Chain A
Amino acid sequence: MKYLLSLFLIFESFSSLSQSCDYIFSGKVSDEMGNPLVGATILLAKQNKGEVADENGFFQFNKLCSGKYQIEVRFVGFKTISSSVKLYANKVWNVTLQSDSTALNEVVISEKHIELAATSTYSSLSGKALEETLGKSLGESLREIPGVNTIQTGPAIFKPVIHGVHSQRVLILNNGIRQEGQNWGAEHAPEVDQFIASNIIVIKDAAAIKYGADALGGVVLVNPAKLPTEAGIGGQVHVIGASNNGSGVLSGFLEGGLKKWPGFGWRAQGTIKKAGDSRAGNYVLSNTGFEEQNFSVSTGYHSEKKGIDIFYSHFNTSIGILRGTAVETAEDLANAQEREPPQYTLPFTYEIKQPRQSVQHDLLKVNAHLADGKNEFRLQYGFQNNNRKEFDFRLGAALSNIPALGFQLQTHTLDADWERSHSTKFQSCWGVNILYQNNSKVDGTQTIPFIPNFDHYAAGIFAVEKMTLANWVVELGLRYDFKNYDVVGFNFQNRLYRSNIDFQNFSGTFSTKRKLGNFSSLTTSISNAWRPPNMAELYSLGTHQSAAAIEYGLLLDEKTSEVKEYTATGARVEKAFKGVVGYKIEKQKFTTELTGYVNYIFDFIYLRPRGVTEGLRGVFPYFRYTQTDASFIGFDLFSVYQLNRQLTLTGKASLLRATDETQNDYLIFIPSNRADVGLRYESKPIKKFSWNAETKIRWVGIQNRAPQVITPREIIEAQKQGIDIIAQRPGNFDFAPAPDSYFLLSLGLGATWKLEKSKWDIRLSCDNLTSEAYREYTNRLRYFADDVGRNITLGIHFSF
């Protein structure tokens, strides 16, 4: 051994004398948390050679000559590292980048097994960008990502819309578990505490094959940080106040490990929020207050090769719905639309009265993983209990305290995967997902339940193969799912009906990523996904909160409203085919990400207006769930330009064009085109203190691709003359025209103190600086009131 070593050394010294050019310079780029920085750029300055860190953060330069090199490692959102390295042998050089300014980072992987497909198109919210959205709800924070919008029901309820589709077409993974709540409702926000997230990833191509077959729009991954594995206690505290709704948010966590037991970690986290009515520019939005109390605990043990952890979270919220939306008939809706401020507008209060929602969500997760050479195994069990009650104005004080809608949804999930690295060039992942779910109505509501009770069983199996070639990475995925629903509900005559439906289908994805030169890459993916109609789409009958229209499900007979068997109707599952192309350039001063997509959904399910009916209360327009073919075509753009060391210019834009292809008509509630421009100044750090200032302008265009308008007043006037105006003017319609385009200006000021073992961050920001009175097309409350006016937020964040 020693003899060989000395020979080797002699050989080496000879090589250096003759200037050998056969060295390998490699390493790993990570962030402060140890997460690999996928896509970081490593530049050999003088030689003008660059490499990009792969999905594990590794980079490698081959055939380098010996000598001294100036190396620059850069990654958007992190401080660039400039260093010099002497190369006289193969060298491994690992580097850790410090998080820096805002901007969406590419990084993402916080739990080793939630590894993203290297070829998927995704955006993430982490580090400072995520910090600056703290206090907002999950849906609201996601709006910072181009291509992601929201559908709102007032200032407290936001649901993510990815590339034009939402609700059950967007999967949310809460710490790796499919979030199962009453997701069918456009006014049911995801019951997730945004504070548990250390990063939030949005996967925009339907290539979410590992997560489920029904992510037609995409997947949102809410990931907490890894549990600590070393002794010592750390934590964070956040205190945030906002002026518009007088809200206060207090959140924090404590985490640590044990000296005697390295690899063990624990974390305890909690959030309290209390907000009063929001205020539009000119009046109070009465009864839009909300409150939230959440906590989570987790503990686990992780070693090099294996680990187990347990996580439990409890989420509890009470949300008021704008009181002026309590309408029953077309006449009520007409009066409400013509009236400003809305009916029942009262002075500001913290009280939450009817109509309101009360939701509790409990989640328990047990997760184990084992790495064995080239293989990694993961097993995960999840249990969720979602309790939702909605309260309305009712006949009598006694009834007003009883929910008009109440359901308990319990879900058990079991996921198992096996990842195998056959070689550095070929990896596979195979897995199985099993789900059992039960939905039961809350007794005593004294209303006919809007959706039936059901037992749901589902099983899916998938395989993903990944190949890394010279300049290409290619991924192929295939999945098969089986779903069964055993239904028992009450029809419009309050009589019991039963149903049993099976669904099964394949879905697949094919994606590639090609490096173009040293600084850019091109990602393409084609995938298909499918989604069975949900319970509301199949069986719903009646009106529900702030709707003023009667909805009929797909399985209700057109004439008698009796419930039919699924196979006896023409109802089909939705099938989507999505193609996404992503082009990315990352240079020294300039980064751009351009994504183009086409999502064609066959048998897209939506509510189509059918006519007017007259009950004892008055005239009601009614809608029936219908299926059509729809297309969603669009672009997302994200650019960052570093003007100099201090100034950064950011631009975002998203364009979307959605069409009802079968009717050659427009769809309703499709987000309009929008763009953001921001300028940010980062001061030079003065000892431990640094500060930043930022301004942003958002432009939201008018939705020109909106369906025809038929106002409730027109419906009533026509009805008086015996004309059913809706039947007479077929096609989609909206009760009011799409609101005008608008600009929103926001300012932010932040300061950071980095002490030896802790960090203080203070942030003062102002949204809607000019208190613009505007209405957002995707806010379902736009028929009744303006959107929120000026809001000043002060946040203090302490971490140690």
Chain B
Amino acid sequence: MKTLRFICLLLVAGSLLFLSGCKKDDPKPENIPEAITKATLTFTPAGGAPVIVTATDPDGDGPLPRTLSGPINLMKNVSYTLKITLINELAKPTDPEYDVTEEVEEEADEHIFFFAWTNNTFSNPTGNGNVDNRSDAVNYVDTDTKGLPLGLETSWTTINESVNGTFRVILKHQPDLKSAATTSNDGESDLDVMFSLTVN
């Protein structure tokens, strides 16, 4: 009798364990590498404090609107190097998908930055940028593996007058398309933000 009861208890315990083990595990969250939640523009003059502005969209492509800091306050007649960094704050800083700049660098052959600004804000490059016309001047420092411009690093010299205008940055993804002639209308936009800009 005792053995029989023991076996029954064992069976009951076993089936309980089995059933609880059978409970479906919750789905695992995904890493989201492609979201850009923050774009940072850092204008560094030769020997001086950098000017930093950010565009932030805390939920990536989600419903919350983006916020822009600024304006970009540059000094008259100074040369700046602009570096753009992109991060994904939906990931942890230690995750590889946190640093989107690196992804863009690795896929330089498919990406290109376009810039537009109020006409004659800069003495170098002159004009109003290459968003309206690819062949307009922009000083790209970095290139992709084919020698075509990328734009994570660009150089600028402000005009010797006060300006109150805007500065627009567009990152286009142009897989299998990018060439010396592709424009800001080709491919898909990964970034399109416009800051206020002053020169004093």
Contacts and interface: CB of A to CB of B under 8 A. Distances in A.
Interface in A386-405: 393-397, 399
Contact of B188 (A332, A615, A616, A622): A332
Contacts of A394: 34
Interface string A307-332: 00000000000000000001111011
Interface in A546-563: 550, 552, 561
Interface residues of A, number: 48
Interface stretch (A8-16, A36-44, A437-445): A437-445
B189 A494 contact: no
B191 A542 contact: no
Interface class of chain B by DSSP = loop
Interface in B61-108: 61-66, 90, 97, 100, 103-104, 106-107
A614 B59 contact: no
A70 interface: no
B57 A616 contact: yes
A151 B150 CA distance: 41
Contacts of B187: 343
B59 A493 contact: yes
Interface stretch (A186-194, A212-220, A446-454): A446-454
Contacts of B66: 614-616
A616 B39 contact: yes
A488 interface: yes
Given A343-B186, A399-B34, A616-B39, A552 B176 contact: no
Contact-residue bracket for chain B: 35 or more
A443 to B, nearest CB: 6
A331 B64 CA distance: 19
A496 B26 CA distance: 9
A418 interface: no
A492 interface: yes
B61 A617 contact: yes
Contacts of A616: 36-37, 39, 55, 57, 60, 66, 191-193
A332 B170 CA distance: 12
Interface in B155-191: 173, 175-177, 185-191
Contacts of A395: 33-34, 100, 103-104, 107, 173, 190
A528 B175 CA distance: 51
A534 to B, nearest CB: 19
A541 interface: yes
B63 A622 contact: yes
Given A443-B28, A494-B30, 11 more contacts: A329-B189, A395-B34, A395-B103, A440-B27, A447-B32, A455-B24, A492-B62, A550-B63, A616-B191, A617-B189, A618-B192
19 contacts: A328-B189, A395-B104, A396-B106, A397-B107, A443-B30, A444-B30, A447-B32, A490-B29, A493-B59, A494-B90, A542-B61, A543-B61, A550-B63, A561-B62, A561-B64, A614-B66, A615-B66, A617-B36, A617-B191
Interface of B: 24, 26-34, 36-37, 39, 55, 57, 59-66, 90, 97, 100, 103-104, 106-107, 173, 175-177, 185-193
- Which 5 residue pairs are nearest across A and B when measured between Cβ atoms? A492-B62, A618-B192, A335-B185, A616-B57, A561-B63
